[in-house]
Structure 1
Amino acid sequence: MIARVFGASFVVTILSLVVAFLYAGWSGVALCAILGILEISLSFDNAVINATILERMSPMWQKIFLTVGILIAVVGMRLLFPLVIVWATAGLNPVDAMDLALNPPADGAATFADGSASYETLLTDAHPQIAAFGGMFLIMLFLDFVFDDSGVTWLSPIEGPLGRLGRLPGASTVVALAALVTAAQFAADDATVSVLTAGILGLFTYLVVNGLTGLIEQDEPDDSAGPSEAVKAVGKAGLFLFLYLEVLDASFSFDGVIGAFAITSDPILIALGLGFIGAMFVRSITVYMVRAGTLSEYRYLEHGAHWAIGALAVIMLVSVDENIEVPEIVTGLIGVAFIGAATLSSIWANRRDAARQSASPVAD
């Protein structure tokens, strides 16, 4: 199964490295590989959450996620999205923005000789708005999970009270808006309104896509399949789950794209490394988790991934303050720590259950 799931990712990786070599020589290969590793290490929590959603999708929509979805992730989020951000914030059309990206100032300077800003500078200046949008989308995802009083908890002293708090109508929305207003107070004076606007758009996007997905899933059960397939999302429900996954991937990729500029400002190498290599492997990891039943085997893995998402959302909202810069390695290590702890907790819980079963008397 590993060869079948990850085979395409290895092929894409080899082709991407070949293209990077033809484009920029061995330095391009090195930068492309580093960016791919960065994306994979920072996006494992993304893969876990994707797996929980992908389990609800029909095989057809799972294939679309791996084919059309990867094109959206690469071309849309890792190549076109930064150009659109520069166009929206600096007034440069995408063609001029691409030209600016491919021809940076000499010696990595932030400005050209005439004083005009570089592509990297323009994109970095838009970080508060990007962080507000992505942070609000992700914090809603986190809050809806921890406010769900399902009875299954990992960090029980914390998740138990939060689950009871979630019984209040709109609790997650109220908490998220409070977090946004607090973060906006620390934004630059000329960015406060744009930060609030971007954050509200992130909240609105989450509510619309998540709400429509749940509504259509209820209206379109696939009863023609067997019992195990009856709960799989098809038709419009599958479409909205697919859109939900793509917006989720976009929210995760915001900081990764901007953080990639610490390594290179070349949009082609960023698309190859973050997109074709990193995003492809993240999708393969997602599919492997679904087919191997990893989430059911490690009962707290989903909890750990959501806590990692909550930490990422807080980091994104805190980074609205231009004086605060959280290194990418810190973001990645927090996610790894939560997921690692959840995995170990799951293993220990499974061993306790096995010990209790072996210790209990067997009926004749």
Structure 2
Amino acid sequence: MFVRTFGASIGVAVVGLVLGWLYGGGTGLALTAILAILEVSLSFDNAVVNATILVRMSPFWQKIFLTVGVAIAVFGMRLVFPLVIVAITAKLNPVEAIRLALEKGDPNDKGTYGYLLHQAHPSIAAFGGMFLLMLFLDFVLEERELTWLSWIERPLARIGKLDQLSVVIALGALALAAYTLGDTADTANHHRISTVLVAGVLGICTYLLVNGLGELFHTDEDALEEEGGHVHIAAGGKRVVQAVGKAAFFLFLYLEVLDASFSFDGVVGAFAITSDPIIIAIGLGVGAMFIRSLTVFLVRKGTLSEYEYLEHGALWAIGALAVILLVTIEYEVPEVVTGLIGVGFIAAAFLSSIVRNKRSEQSEDSEREPAAV
């Protein structure tokens, strides 16, 4: 199962490392490996969240996620997206943006590709931060039977009964971020507040649109099965009817937008390691492929059903990442800090799941003992 799931990723990693070496020699090889590791460490929580969505999709759409989805992630978000951002920010035509990117100028020098991308970071952080914040708020404000951090999740679920509370909180957080972190004495950036506000509102609108489309085509399990939905038996015997057709398409669309939001910090942060867009695309692309394989592995292994707090840990990591992205509007946050916070939440949730499973086994054993006597 491991080879079948990760075989393609290992192959892509080998090709990517070879391309890095052919393009930049030993330095290119080393940078490609570093960027791949950076992407995996930053996006581990992304894999867990993606798995909770992917398990609801048929095997056909899971394959689409690993093929078409990878192309969008690697070429779209890791290569084309930065070029588009630079072109729009600097008001350049596409050819000029590509020429500027291939010059590999120092990101600290004005007018270089890396410098212009960093100048656009406030709007990128605002968009991605608000999208992820909405995802986190909709999770913690929803009432659910299973809670992890019950002391805070249950009170939040109670107040979450207020209609559209997540939107209200998100807009309040955006206004606070824009007028505190977005405010600057630098006259060259006097439009930063409005830029942050517009980008943040677009992030919220994108989430509401994509999530709304998913809800529009969402049907219950019985209806999905009647429409030809694929029946999947997860670990522990849990029955899941996987979406097909339009419902699966919008789940796929939701996954791609979610991945895009996760990739913002990695793409921008990569310029702290190298200013070469080709090496960045190769390295982050290799990492993105491993994250997708890890997502499929979690689904096929039934890990989320076996360790039920993992989803909670991943969503709390998303909440932390959303806050970090907003903070980076004004302040630099080392990528290692972002990665460690995400891994920390996942590890804590994993350990909590193990403890919960052991307690459940002990409880079942104690109930069987009197019957045996």
CA deviation after TM superposition for structure 1 residue 190, in Å: 1.7
Match of 1:331 among 315, 334, 338: 338
**Partner in structure 2 of residue 180 of structure 1:** 174
Is 1:20–1:32's contact at 8 Å kept on the other side of the alignment? yes
Paired positions, count: 355
Task: Name the counterpart of 1:354.
Answer: 361
d(CA) in 2 for partners of 1:330 and 1:150? 30
Per-residue deviation, 1:362: 5.0
Correspondence 1:214 to 2:251: no
* Alignment partner of 2:254 out of 241, 244, 252: 244
Counterpart contact for 1:222–1:230, Cα < 8 Å = no
- Cα distance, 1:151 vs. partner? 2.2
- 1:363 Cα offset (Å): 3.0
Give runs of aligned pairs for residues 141-156 of structure 1, distance below 5 A. 141-156=135-150
| Shift of residue 215, structure 1, vs aligned partner | 1.3
Letter in 2 for 1:314: V
- 2:292 alignment counterpart: 283
Contact 1:39/1:256, CA 8 A, preserved across alignment:
yes
- Partner letter of residue 341 of structure 2? I
TM-fit CA distance, 1:225: 4.8
- CA 1:28–1:141 in structure 2 vs 1: closer, same or farther (change >3 Å)? same
Question: Do the aligned partners of 1:222 and 1:234 also contact (CA within 8 Å) in 2?
Answer: no
Give 3-state SS (helix, strand or coil) of 1:336's partner. Answer: helix
**1:309 equivalent in alignment to 2:318:** yes
User: How far apart in 1 are the matches of 2:107 and 2:209?
Assistant: 41
Q: How many Å apart are 1:262 and its aligned residue? A: 0.8
After TM superposition, give the deviation of residue 227 of structure 1 in Å.
4.8
Cα distance in 1 for residues equivalent to 2:38 and 2:137: 27
Q: 1:296 to 1:71 in 2, by over 3 A?
A: same
Could you tell which deviates more after superposition, 218-227 or 284-293?
Answer: 218-227
1:240 positional shift: 0.7
1:139 to 117, 133, 138: 133
Could you tell which deviates more after superposition, 353-362 or 36-45? 353-362
Aligned to 2:329: 320
C-alpha distance in 2, partners of 1:180/1:257?
A: 22
Residues 107-134 of structure 1 deviation map (CA, whole Å, 9 limit, x = unaligned): x3633xxxx5111100000000000000
| CA–CA distance in structure 1, aligned partners of residues 107 and 76 of structure 2 | 27
Displacement of 1:212: 0.8
RMSD between aligned residues: 1.4
Deviation at 1:343, TM superposition (A): 0.3
CA contact (8 A) 2:58 2:230 kept: no
Structural mapping, 1:222-261, within 5 Å: 222-223=225-226, 224-225=228-229, 227-228=231-232, 231-261=241-271
- Asked if the contact 1:17–1:29 (Cα under 8 Å) also holds between the matched residues in 2, the reply is yes
Which residue number in structure 1 is paired with residue 235 of structure 2?
A: none
Tell me which residue corresponds to 1:167: 161
Distance 1:12 1:95 in 2: 28
CA spacing shift, 1:225–1:319, aligned 2, 3 Å:
closer
- 1:120–1:62 distance in 2 versus 1, CA, 3 Å: same
AA of the residue aligned to 1:110: N
Kindly, what percent of the aligned residue pairs are identical?
62
SS, match of residue 262 in structure 1: coil
Indicate the SS of the match to 1:185. Answer: helix
Unaligned 5+ runs, structure 2 = 185-189, 233-238
Distance in 1, Cα, partners of 2:240 & 2:225: 5
**What secondary structure sits across from 1:231 in the alignment?**
strand
Please list every run of 5 or more consecutive structure 1 residues that lacks an aligned counterpart in the other structure.
none
TM-score by length of 1: 0.95
The aligned counterpart of 1:342 is 349
* AA at the equivalent of 1:344: L
- 8 A contact 2:107–2:271 mirrored in 1: no
Out of 18-27 and 225-234, give the one that drifted further. 225-234
Tell me which residue corresponds to 2:123.
129
Output one character per residue of 1:76-132: Cα deviation in whole Å (capped at 9) or x when no partner: 000000000001111112221121121133xx3633xxxx51111000000000000
**TM score, norm. by length of structure 2:** 0.92
Residues in 1 aligned to 2:4 and 2:25: alpha-carbon distance in whole angstroms: 31
SS at match of 1:117: coil
- 2: CA distance between counterparts of 1:352 and 1:167? 31
1:17-74, CA deviations, whole angstroms, 9 ceiling, x for partnerless residues? 1111111111101000000000001100000000000011111111000000000001
CA distance in structure 2 between the partners assigned to 1:320 and 1:278 by the alignment:
25
Amino acid at match of 2:365: S
Partner of 2:65: 65
